[in-house]
Chain A
Amino acid sequence: DAKTTQPTSMDCAEGRAANLPCNHSTISGNEYVYWYRQIHSQGPQYIIHGLKNNETNEMASLIITEDRKSSTLILPHATLRDTAVYYCIVRSFSSNTGKLIFGQGTTLQVKP
């Protein structure tokens, strides 16, 4: 599975949009981009995933560049409860396992 690169940490003001970037320059055509987050002392929580089109759900939006080499997770109105580690994961569906390979993620701190 392709490797991802994320900034180690980011800050965001409460009520503002949080834009979390992810670089996956070696992504291949059958690989999806997944985002999870982990709030302190909890299990990871699924946020959103996409292949090549932009996606939106009740939690966030996912913007994938046309060449698919990078993506951005957008939390439109960040709250203090969005403080967490955010993981960008690229996952292939041609492999024989569904395992997720987590990197170090981005620690997002939402400040009042």
Chain B
Amino acid sequence: GAGVSQSPSNKVTEKGKDVELRCDPISGHTALYWYRQSLGQGLEFLIYFQGNSAPDKSGLPSDRFSAERTGGSVSTLTIQRTQQEDSAVYLCASSLNFGVGTDTQYFGPGTRLTVL
């Protein structure tokens, strides 16, 4: 079946502009996660959704970052007033239902964001 999809695959923007990154989770998956991976760095957790609510936003690096999820499906990560240090690959993952036994996160291909 279809996996996690993300769009766009690549985004180049100018410093100070706002960007929106989209994630379509696997159908039926109630949990959704955003991570980012800066050049040469490990993967860093940003935010976790269970349904439409976000119980854990602890990884969002600043108030320029926000995310929402509507209808328990698609999620959008928004970065306002982008800075060069925001350049990274932004990865989305989904899982069937966190908290019910073990759950496995399946990752999308990521969006490569470059801030000039």
Task: Give the contacting residue for B55; candidates A43, A44, A97, A103; CB below 8 A.
Answer: A97
Q: Do most interface residues of chain A lie in helix, strand or loop, or is the interface mixed? A: loop
Q: Does residue B62 face the partner (Cβ distance < 8 Å to A)?
A: no
Q: Considering the complex, give the chain B residue whose CB is closest to the CB of A47.
A: B104
Q: Say yes or no: is B25 at the interface (Cβ < 8 Å to chain A).
A: no
Residue with the highest number of chain A CB atoms closer than 10 Å, among B4, B91, B106, B107: B107
Contact string against B for A residues 90-112, beta-carbon threshold 8 Å, 1 for contact and 0 otherwise = 00010011111111110000000
Q: Report whether B45 and A43 are in contact in the complex, using a CB–CB cutoff of 8 Å.
A: no
CB of B90 to closest CB in A, whole Å = 10
Establish whether residues B45 and A104, one from each chain, have CB atoms under 8 Å apart when the complex forms: no
Contacting pair B95 A98 (CB below 8 A): yes
Contact in complex: B107, A44 (CB < 8 Å) = yes
Shortest beta-carbon distance, A37 to chain B, in Å? 11
Interface flags for B44-73 (1: CB within 8 Å of A; 0: not) read 110010000001101100000000000000
A45 contacts partner chain B, Cβ-Cβ < 8 Å = yes
A-B contact pairs, 19 of them (CB 8 A): A42-B109, A42-B110, A43-B4, A43-B91, A43-B109, A44-B43, A44-B93, A45-B107, A46-B105, A93-B99, A93-B102, A96-B55, A99-B56, A100-B35, A100-B45, A100-B93, A102-B43, A102-B44, A105-B42
Binding site for B on A (CB under 8 A): 32, 42-46, 49, 87, 93, 96-105
